[in-house]
Amino acid sequence: MESLDIETVDSAELSDPAFIEGLPGVGHVGKLAAEHILDQYDGTLVRRLYSHDLPPQVDVGHDGIAELTHLEFHAVETEGRDLLVLTGDHQAQTNEGHYRLASAVLDVAEEFGCEELYALGGVPTGELIEEYAVLGAATQESIVEALEAEDVEFREDEPAGGIVGVSGLLLGLGARRDVEAACLMGETSGYLVDPKSARAVLEVLEAMLGMDVDYASLEERADEMEEVIGKIQEMEQQQQANVPSDDDLRYIG
The pLDDT assigned to 176 comes to: 95
Q: Which amino acid is at 40?
A: Q
- Planar angle of CA 150, 188, 131, nearest 5 degrees: 55
CA 229 → CA 141, 186, 187, distances in Å? 38, 18, 16
Average pLDDT, the chain: 92
What is residue 250's predicted lDDT score, i.e. its pLDDT? 54
pLDDT of residue 94: 96
Which pLDDT score is estimated for 237?
80
Q: What is the mean pLDDT of residues 215-232?
A: 84
Find the helix or strand (DSSP H, E) in which 35 lies: helix 29-40
Strands (E), 101-149: 116-124, 134-138
Tens of pLDDT, residue by residue over 91-148, are 999 999 999 999 999 999 999 999 999 999 999 998 888 889 999 999 999 999 999 9
The CA distance from 40 to 36, in Å, is: 6
Q: What is the mean pLDDT of residues 14-35?
A: 96
The predicted model gives 223-231 an average pLDDT of: 79
CA 131 vs CA 125, 134, 220: distances in Å: 12, 10, 18
Q: Say what the pLDDT of residue 245 is.
A: 58
Rounded CA gap, 247 and 240, in Å?
Answer: 16
- Structure confidence by residue, pLDDT tens digits, 162-183: 999 999 999 999 999 999 999 9
**How big is the chain, counted in residues?**
253
pLDDT of residue 253: 41
Q: Provide the percentage of residues in the chain whose pLDDT is more than 90.
A: 78
Separation in Å, CA 244 to CA 101, 110, 236, 252: 53, 62, 15, 16
pTM: 0.89
213-222 contacts: CB < 8 A, separation 24 or more?
213/36, 213/37, 213/40, 214/40, 217/36, 217/39, 218/32, 218/36, 219/195, 221/32, 221/193, 221/195, 222/195, 222/196
pLDDT at residue 247, rounded to an integer: 60
Task: Give 36 or 158, the one with higher predicted confidence.
Answer: 36
Largest distance between two CA atoms of the chain = 83
Residue 246 pLDDT exceeds 80: no
**What pLDDT does residue 27 have?**
92
- Note the pLDDT of residue 238: 80
pLDDT at 28 over 60: yes
